[in-house]
């Protein structure tokens, strides 16, 4: 199950939830195919004013950032460089389509590989055949 988490200032995020949920889901589908749509898990984290800082000072504007959790095996595939570049571009496009192109240069996309030996679902390690959704 691909996990997408978007972090944005709460005031910037409010009211944009449907658009960004759809855009982030579509970004995953654009790389993996339609079969992935039903399993994309999107989490939106709105950060209240005063709780996002840079250089020790709270910011009043910040580009949203995206963290995408996927199985680490993706990084070992022969096409890993292409897949990761497509994911970064698709997530950046999804964010800027909703929040505006003025943020493009500052959108951070982090691709985080999860080893199946350190992930569990339904109380069982995924590598041991744990429940699948």
Strand partners, 32: none
pTM for the model stands at 0.88
DSSP string, 9-31: EHHHHTT-HHHHHHHHHHHHHHH
Q: Percent of the chain at pLDDT above 90?
A: 79
Domain boundaries, given as residue ranges, for the chain: 3-128
Do residues 37 and 1 touch, judged by C-beta distance below 8 A?
no
- At 38-48, the pLDDT tens digits run 999 999 999 99
Q: Which CATH architecture describes the domain 3-128?
A: 2-Layer Sandwich (3.30)
> What does the block give as tokens for 25?
């889901």
- The C-alpha atoms of residue 26 and residue 94 are separated, in whole angstroms, by 8
- At 57-84, the pLDDT tens digits run 999 999 999 999 988 888 999 999 999 9
Q: Is 70 exposed, middle or buried (0-12, 13-18, 19+ CB in 10 A)?
A: buried
Do residues 12 and 45 touch, judged by C-beta distance below 8 A?
no
């Amino acid at each position: 199950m691909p996990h997408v988490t978007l972090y944005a200032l709460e005031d910037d995020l409010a009211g944009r939830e449907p658009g960004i949920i759809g855009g982030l889901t579509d970004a995953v589908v654009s790389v993996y195919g339609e079969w992935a749509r039903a399993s994309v898990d999107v989490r939106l984290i709105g950060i209240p004013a005063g709780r996002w800082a840079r250089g020790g000072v709270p910011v009043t504007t910040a580009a949203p950032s995206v963290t995408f959790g996927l199985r680490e095996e993706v990084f070992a595939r022969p096409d890993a460089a292409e897949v990761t570049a497509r994911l970064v571009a698709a997530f950046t496009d999804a964010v800027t389509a909703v929040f505006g192109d003025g943020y493009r240069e500052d959108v951070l996309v982090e691709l985080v590989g999860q080893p199946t030996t350190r992930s569990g679902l339904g109380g069982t390690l995924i590598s041991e055949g744990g429940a699948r959704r």
